[in-house]
Structure 1
Amino acid sequence: MDAKKKKERSSERGDATDGKLDGKKKGKHDKDKPWDTPDIDHWKLDKFDPKWNDGGMLEESSFSTLFPQYREKYLQEVWPLVTSTLKEHGIKCELNLVEGSMTVATTRKTRDPYIIVKARDLLKLLSRSVPAPQALKILDDEMQCDIIKIGSLLRNKERFVKRRQRLLGPNGATAKAIELLTGCYMLVQGNTVSAMGSFKGLKIVRRIVEDCIKNIHPIYHIKALMIKRELAKDPELAEQNWDRFLPKFKKRNVKQKKVKEQKKKPYTPFPPPQQPSKVDLQLESGEYFLSAELKAAKKREAKKEKQEVVLAENKRKREAAFIPPKESKKVERSSDAGEQGNKSITKSDVSVMAESLKKKVKGMVAAHGTADTKGVDAYLVAPSLQNDKKLKKKITEDYATEEPRKKKRRKVAQED
């Protein structure tokens, strides 16, 4: 008997070693199945057929959830739509405004056993301010939801509000970018983030949201997702590692304010000396022994002095507006000063000019034997009029007329 068992075991081991997959030994029941072909998509979700469960549910299953008071009015308006949609799947629902709760339960007409879980998710989304038309999409088989709790990730309320706002971005731009890249619907409400989409997209959304609350900006994830989307279009890079293409952001240490270290005072077992009280100070200054009238008079004087200082300061400020600004001194030359300057200049210069002219005239007399000093005397008599243009013109004309006469006289004298 023992020999037979050993043979059977060895034969089983031989069968197991014959069918190897990826270098691993296959177990006793892990064998190739003739109906399992490569063209089969194992991840495909077939639509539920009611014929698969003709008998229905054996027992009733129900879920209920509470909703905030501000959602009461909206839920009342939308509840007929929710009721009619759930009725198609054989689910009954109830809205209790007294307790503030919503309840869903299976009926005898319910065929899909998983639809009650979908109805439970629908109630969660409705209570988290997701619009009803969007929340009803959760009843589809391919749509999943995830409610991310972010309220307990951070203690400081101000930081939490600031980082939660990063998820939305300016005018909701960041949230819209996340929705387009992940293919998921996202709604930030209070201490939770509601997301709807595929399992793969929800996983990415959860990582982005949690990292954002941990002080990692969503723009880094958005940039990486955009690069991955472009790389996925290239069939050559499908089986390669994409790490070399993805950006690597280094964490920078932001300079923080240096806390001033307070020097510890040396320890002394004795307590510090007691500070003098108000009565002690009055005793030292002698104010304690003054009568009530003198004390009041002293207070009035101190108050009056303060008022006088304030009044003087206010008066100075008011009068400052009426003080004229200082003007810059400009040197203006008057007409009298100009005339005096011209006179001083002419007096000093004319004497020199007169001597030079007289010397020239004497030289001319010696050379030509004529003593005509009429032009020179006229020039010296009226030196102040030498700038007159008319006088200059007249002198030049007289000189031009006298020149040929002199030439004629010289010729006559030479002939004689």
Structure 2
Amino acid sequence: MQNFQWFMLVGGLMVARGLWGSTIARLPFTSATIYLAIGLALGPLFLNLFRFDPLREAPVLEVVAEVAVLISLFSAGIKMPVPFTWSRWLPAIRLAWLAMALSVLLISGFGVLVLGLPVGAAILLGAILAPTDPVLATDVQVRHAGDNDPLRFTLTCEAGLNDGSAFPFVMLGLGLLGLHELGEGGTTWLLVDVAWATAGGIAVGIACGATLAYLSAALRKRIAKHEVLDDLLGLGLIGVSYGIALSVHTYGFLAVFAAGVALRQTELRLIHARTNDEGLLEPEVDEAHTPAVVPTAPTVSGGALVFKEHLERLSELTLVLLLGGAASLALAEWRPWLLALFVFFIARPLSVLTSMIGAGIGGRATAITAWFGVRGIGSIYYLTYAINHGLPPSLGRELINATLAVIMLSILLHGASVTPLLNRYWR
């Protein structure tokens, strides 16, 4: 396909999505399913109008997927309810860390015993496929900054956290393949890749988000008519927090999500404090729920949210189309699809049910959470990250086929079940 044809295709799909957004929302599948069907129809499996090789285009694909995930993580972060409480966040933390580790373990075991992969490659495959996706899972995530639904919060928070919590396992897999330094007895991996990179990334994000909140509030308070470009500030915060996190060898994904959370939390606390100082009654805050007051003062998090959601939709459209162009006859083999079935019907449910014992969110919410482990753009990023760090081409091809099968099946299964299951759950 030539450039003008791509512009017509992407532009036409965006117009259709904009005009019939509410109609598509009522369909028994998501917009990602439509994009995938169009990509498959135009790709090498059918019309062969274009093809996309993830192995050859890995450098470009890594950057595109990286940007898409960063925007989605920040958007998820600024929609997190205020205030932060451990009782609210603990189930999501269990999912992001304990369920993540169990998923990696189960998928790795499948990779060794069924797919015949070496241990390092199997762990790497588990790290690629275990994290849920913040880009393609928007239909089951928090819808707006005041959304107080605990199920959507748990799924959103899990997707925001486990895109960083998967990284230690990626580095472990690369290390066992001889592509990363693990240290004597794995000490370097434990101290640097697990402890420092995780804690440091969260700390960097909190510091950047809170600092921007104080700066913007001070400017608005001192100069009443001072114009603050919230969209630009949001993008700038993503870049600064991500860049600082990477420069000190911490996980940038965690930093960006934490920056979004810290920005929103700090801005609303400043507004509440200012409201109280002006003699108005401060709202009662139940630690299990979002404060009843919706701020009327302008905030960076509120002003940047709509723009970020539009960028999310554009990245979803583009990357899912490319998935269709990457599908080839190699996907006709049974092993990638057997793996995909194992991930969604055994690994995800078993890891979630085990990690959520005693979490107190209820049996129905736990069951819904166990099913909606959406895989997508985050897995593409980890895959291309591994390829660009020296993964052998033959092994890269095998992991590409496995990842494509899992993402495609996720789009089909979760896309077809999200509306009826959630409508029944909320009813």
State the TM-score, normalized to the length of structure 1: 0.18
Q: Which has the larger radius of gyration?
A: 1
Greater strand fraction, Structure 1 or Structure 2: 1
